[in-house]
Each structure stands twice: as C-alpha cells, then as structure tokens.
Structure 1
Amino acid sequence: MPFDIIEKKDDIVVIVIPTRLDASNSQDLKDIIAQKVGEKKFKFIIDLSNTEFVDSSGLGAMVSKIAHCRANGGDVKIVVTNDRIKEIFQITHLDKVLKEYTNADEAVAAFNES
C-alpha cells in the first residue's frame, strides 16, 4: 500500500498520503480506516503534506468513517500545506467538517487537548 501508517500514543493513527489520493488508491485508504476502526481506534490524522492531488473519491475516503469516529470519542483531522488542496476543501466545504493543521504534531496536540 502506498500509505505510511504511524501509530501514536493514545490510539492516534497518522496516515501519510502519497502525492495523489484518487480513484486508484482511495479504496485502500477506506480499508485502512475501516481496519483501524475495527481495532477500536477512532482518532485519525490524515497527513496530506506530501499530496498534490485529491479527487472526489479521495475526499469520500477521508470522511468515510468520520461519524463513527466522532460517535466513539474520536475524530478525523487533516494536515494540509498545499494551497490547491486547501482550496478543494474550501470549495467542497469540508474545511467546515475537518479541522486543518499545518503538521502532524500540531494535530496530535489538538487530540491531547480535547
């Protein structure tokens, strides 16, 4: 799989996305999230800092289990540094649903504050 998965303390799962998140790999992301949710892990950080392109299937994969995570005391947070990716989140209004951070450490800290 093209994703790096980093497990942090407090059951926080960081998933580092490659340069593209699209129809060719979005199902892999959904499968990873579903597997971790099955392991009772509900805190996710989707790290898009290396990502240059996201399509609608990639966006769908990111939010596929968000309601389930939130219902179990978790959440999905994103790391976004690319302005084009930020614009996609603004256009789709996902910036209202997913909290954006500039790096994974900042997102981990936000989980620990809540």
Structure 2
Amino acid sequence: MDNFLILIREDIAQVSNLSEVEMQADIEAYTQWVENLAAHDHFVSGEPLEAKGKYMTKEQVSSDGPFIESKEVVTGFILIKARDLDEAVELSKTCPIFKGNGGALEVRPIMKY
C-alpha cells in the first residue's frame, strides 16, 4: 500500500457563513468518513486547518490568509493508504465534501525516494 494526500479545498465564504448547527453536522460527517477509512485500514492521519496563514515566496511573505486572491482555501488534509492512485480516488469519492455546499479534493501520491 502507498500513501496519498487528500487536500480538502472549500470556498472560504461558504465555510465562514456556516451556522453552528451546520458546522457541527459537517464535523460529524467528516468524523464518520474518517472512522470508516480507519476501519478499513486506509486512514493514516489528518487534521482540519485554520483559514489564516501566510503565503510566502523566496523574496517575501506576500500576504496574510485567508487569501483574497483565491476564494478557495485548503481547509484540511487526510493522509490515506491505498493500492494505487485509482483506489485513492475511489476512497476520496466518499468524502462528505461532495454531499455539501461544494468544494473539491486534490489527491496526490506521496513520492517515494
């Protein structure tokens, strides 16, 4: 089994406007999803991320986040184990992000060296 990183990308405006009840429902849905991945020995690690942060280049720290140049923000990550990229994508299709208010996932293989 190889490791794959799932980046969770959401519209910052939509995430910011969730009610407490909606936020709790999202947390419960993601918790159930991760528990299911773990029960099938696919979950390695994962955490939600704060929207705030710093965007940096070699020359400077160019902006504070959330970044106005992008309406989409990475709100979390999940590290999973899968046979290959196709299986990682299939596992990712069950993510609650596809049942909610939109958003996207990026699935990336962890490079072996």
TM-score, with normalisation over the residues of structure 1? 0.30
Larger radius of gyration: 2
Whichever structure has more helix as a proportion of its residues is: 1
What is the TM-score when the length of structure 2 is the normalising length?
0.30
Greater RCO, CA 8 A, separation 6+ = 2
